[in-house]
Amino acid sequence: MRCCITFTVNDQTQTVETFPMKRLLDVLREDLQLTGTKEGCGEGECGACSVIMDGLLVNSCLVPILHASGSSVRTIEGIAPPGGLHPVQRAFAACGGAQCGICTPGMILAAIHLLERTPHPTRGQIREALSGNLCRCTGYQKIIDSVEQASSHLS
């Protein structure tokens, strides 16, 4: 049975008519055409589908859309100021933090989630905060460098 779900995505109110157990990931990608959020494993292990929901970093492949009702979701499409880049995006581009790019949106959201709580993390804190997001290309070093650089540009 389909139902209507209203929630906020990147500061815009959205109402979708869909099945209550449809994954937030699929609603974002299919109903709202926000394909920047990626599916890597479908079981909450890889973090490619990470989004920030009511201030929490979640794997959107594990969130039924019913659960997102009334919530506020931020995706990779909604983090940059108009016409610009978020400092974390800029740092990933500059430091080689993105290689194949498939983990990048989720990784960037995990980094933003960390920096909003801990603006100047140690490398150890960065490793821990990103440990739910798998990357197979970079060996993580340049991702950690990227987060460090972004952190140094935060006041």
Interacting residues with another protein (CB under 8 A): 29-30, 33-43, 45-46, 48, 75-77, 80, 85, 89-90, 92-105, 108, 126-128, 130-144
Of 97, 115, 109, nearest in space to 133 by CA = 109
Least separation, in Å, of the C-beta of 96 and another protein?
Answer: 4
Least separation, in Å, of the C-beta of 56 and another protein?
Answer: 19
Q: Which is nearer to another protein, 6 or 142 (CB)?
A: 142
Measured CA to CA, the distance from residue 76 to residue 63 in angstroms comes to: 17
Q: Residue 101 in 3-state DSSP?
A: coil
Measured CA to CA, the distance from residue 88 to residue 116 in angstroms comes to: 11
Least separation, in Å, of the C-beta of 24 and another protein?
Answer: 16
For residue 91, with 0-12 CB atoms within 10 Å meaning exposed, 13-18 middle and 19 or more buried, which class applies?
buried
Name the phi and psi angles at 26, rounded to 5: -70, -35
Q: Which is nearer to another protein, 94 or 154 (CB)?
A: 94
Q: Which is nearer to another protein, 52 or 130 (CB)?
A: 130
Least separation, in Å, of the C-beta of 149 and another protein?
Answer: 12
Q: Which is nearer to another protein, 70 or 120 (CB)?
A: 120
**CB contact at 8 A, 5 and 65:** yes
